[in-house]
Amino acid sequence: MSPPPRRPAATPESPWLAADMRAQQRELKRQAVLHTAAQLFNERGFHATSLDDIAERLHVTKPTLYYYVKSKDEILLECVRAALGMMQEEIGAVRRAGGRALDQLVACMRSYALIVTQEFGRCVVRTGEDPLPEPLKRELRSLKAGIDREFRRLIDEAIQEGSIVACDPKMAAFMVAGALSWVARWYRPDGELSPEEIADQGIALLLNGLVMKRFAGA
Amino acid sequence: MSPPPRRPAATPESPWLAADMRAQQRELKRQAVLHTAAQLFNERGFHATSLDDIAERLHVTKPTLYYYVKSKDEILLECVRAALGMMQEEIGAVRRAGGRALDQLVACMRSYALIVTQEFGRCVVRTGEDPLPEPLKRELRSLKAGIDREFRRLIDEAIQEGSIVACDPKMAAFMVAGALSWVARWYRPDGELSPEEIADQGIALLLNGLVMKRFAGA
């Protein structure tokens, strides 16, 4: 019989956090910086927001901020990356779950509408990539193009399965993305409609259309 | 009988233009500056475009440019004002012509789609008001709000006349404005679709919806 395992000797209490805890704390604080910055960009505009404003709302000094982020550009990039990454994950999950293409499309439209009402998602549409230097613009454009491709593919599949009318999937994907992205411009957290209500009503209008009787052309 | 009117003495030819001609020439040149600037903003982004770039494309020096405009901000403001002014005029003309609310709505949607494929209209959506200082932002927001109000009113009237489904006119106006504004983001003058084709297909999708069979909810 082997001897019972010895308990490790108790380490003396240290007033410093262990390395992994420090890294975790740092990441949490970095996320708080990004979130607060996004909030300010959405409230006041990217140009009108300074690093001082962000520091002030977080009750820290600007040098403290520099410990977590290098510049306003970096903050914007990270906010936009976060939102687009979220959208890609949602699409991936919907795709893996499978089912009718139309139902998958509706699920993706819903995620899209909900993401653009969140701070990072609002940033993507309200500020966009314009303030960023060219290589970063290219990175963001390629992330957006990937999401657009998924919407086109879903619409194309839905046309094949007979649930969506014969149309140009590219055109239809742009109309859907436009209508839903626009939510980021007009949505107010203190407005009358909740993100879920906006998603439901927006999806119904886009799928069923505005008119009572089919419109045949002007 | 009165004597025949005397012809005014012929003025000697002057190598300088008369004052009204000078003013006209100046305005023409100012418009060329705005148009070229808008083109560059749309191609490269507002931030990445300098007054030097604009001067270079016009084959003039920067001091010459300053004779027509004070700053990049002023240029942006004027471009956006021009596009929004055009849209207000179009809506005014449609309203005066009268007819079914749905037909008026379609005519306004068409104008909207065509304006956002033009340089000034693309500027409104692609750059927006973010770079501008607060009082100018407020001016532009109020112009946009006026256009939005007209769309809501038309949709409301179309619901009353029974041509549009019962829905929240505000929500529907936002969806229409979003889908059509987005055109400014993806339209390329050298792309496959003409502005007219985009307007036709976009309007058909928004009015008739995407689905074959009414979608009742997810």
Q: What is the spatial distance between Cα B179 and Cα B38, in angstroms, rounded to a whole number?
A: 22
Q: Which residue has the higher pLDDT, B115 or B13?
A: B115
Mean predicted confidence (pLDDT) in A114-129:
94
Mutating which of A44, A149, A210, A213 best tests the B interface, going by the most B Cβ atoms within 10 A? A210
Which pLDDT value is given to residue B61? Answer: 95
The reported pLDDT for the residue numbered A52 is: 96
Q: How many CB atoms lie within 10 A of CB A55?
A: 18
Rounded Cα distance between B59 and B208, Å, is: 48
CA A109 vs. chain centroid, Å, equals 13
For chain A, percent of residues with pLDDT exceeding 70: 94
Nearest CA-CA distance, residue B10 and chain A, Å:
56
CA distance B84 to B60: 29
The residue-averaged pLDDT of A200-209 equals 97
Residue A217 scores a pLDDT above 60 = yes
CA atoms within 13 A on the CB side of A4: 2
Distance from CA of A101 to the nearest CA of B (A): 12
Vertex B150: Cα angle to B146 and B152 (nearest 5) = 115
* Percent of chain B surpassing pLDDT 70: 94
The ipTM is 0.87
Q: Which residue among A110, A162, A175 sits closest to B205, beta carbon to beta carbon?
A: A175
Residues of chain A in contact with residue B177, where contact means CB-CB under 8 angstroms, are: 182
Distance from CA of B118 to the nearest CA of A (A): 18
Report how far apart, in Å, the C-alpha atoms of A6 and of each of A9, A25, A84, B29, B88 are.
Answer: 9, 32, 49, 88, 82
Ramachandran angles phi, psi of A84, nearest 5°:
-70, -35
Contact B182 A185 (CB under 8 A): no
Nearest to A182 among B178, B186, B203 (CB): B178
Handedness of CA B69, B70, B72, B77 (dihedral sign): negative
Chain B residues whose CB is inside 8 A of the A171 CB are: 193, 198, 201-202, 205
Residues of A in contact with B214 (CB under 8 A): 208
| Predicted confidence (pLDDT) per residue in A71-106, tens digit | 999 999 999 999 999 999 999 999 999 999 999 999
B-chain residue closest to A162, CA distance: B212
Contact A202 B171 (CB under 8 A): yes
Query: Which chain A residues are within 8 Å of B179, Cβ to Cβ?
Result: 174-176, 178-179, 182
Q: How close A62 comes to chain B (CA, Å)?
A: 23
Nearest CA in chain A to B164: A211
With beta carbons under 8 A apart, name residues in chain B contacting A210: 155, 164-165, 167, 172, 176, 206-207, 209
Crossing angle for the helix pair B195-208 and A169-186, to the nearest 10 degrees: 70
- Return the residue of A nearest to B178 by Cα: A179
**pLDDT above 90 as % of chain B:** 82
Residue B182 pLDDT more than 90? yes
Angstrom distance (rounded) from CA B91 to CA B104: 9
Binary contact (A130, B134; C-beta < 8 A) = no
Which secondary-structure segment (H or E) carries B103?
Answer: helix B101-115
d(Cα A186, Cα A86) in Å, to the nearest integer? 21
Say what the pLDDT of residue B15 is: 80
- Inter-residue contact A208 to A190 (CB < 8 Å): no
Give chain B positions within 8 Å (CB) of A217.
200, 204
B-chain residues within 8 Å CB-CB of A46?
130
CB contact at 8 A, B100 and A218: no
A68 pLDDT higher than 60: yes
Cβ neighbours of A110 (radius 10 Å): 20
Euclidean distance between CA atoms B83 and B79, whole angstroms: 6
DSSP category for residue A12: P
- Beta carbons of B218 and A107 less than 8 angstroms apart: yes
Q: How many CB pairs under 8 A join A and B?
A: 162
Closest by Cα among A128, A122, A154, A163 to A143: A128
Mean pLDDT of B158-177: 97
Query: What rounded mean pLDDT belongs to chain A?
Result: 92
Looking at residues B54-73, what average pLDDT do you find?
A: 95
Task: Give the three-state DSSP class for A211.
Answer: strand
Residue A218 has pLDDT above 60, yes or no: no
Structure confidence by residue, pLDDT tens digits, A45-55: 999 999 999 99
Chain B residue nearest residue A185, CA to CA: B178
Give which of B184, B200, B182, B198 is closest to B79, Cα–Cα.
Answer: B184
Helix (H) or strand (E) holding B147: helix B134-160
**Confidence class of residue B3 from pLDDT cuts 50, 70 and 90?**
low
Nearest Cα to A128, choosing from A188, A50, A53, A47? A47
Phi-psi region of B4 (alpha: psi -120 to 50; beta: other; left: phi over 0): beta
Helix B72-97 / helix B119-126 crossing angle, nearest 10 deg: 110
Region of A181 (left: φ > 0; alpha: ψ -120 to 50; beta: rest) is alpha
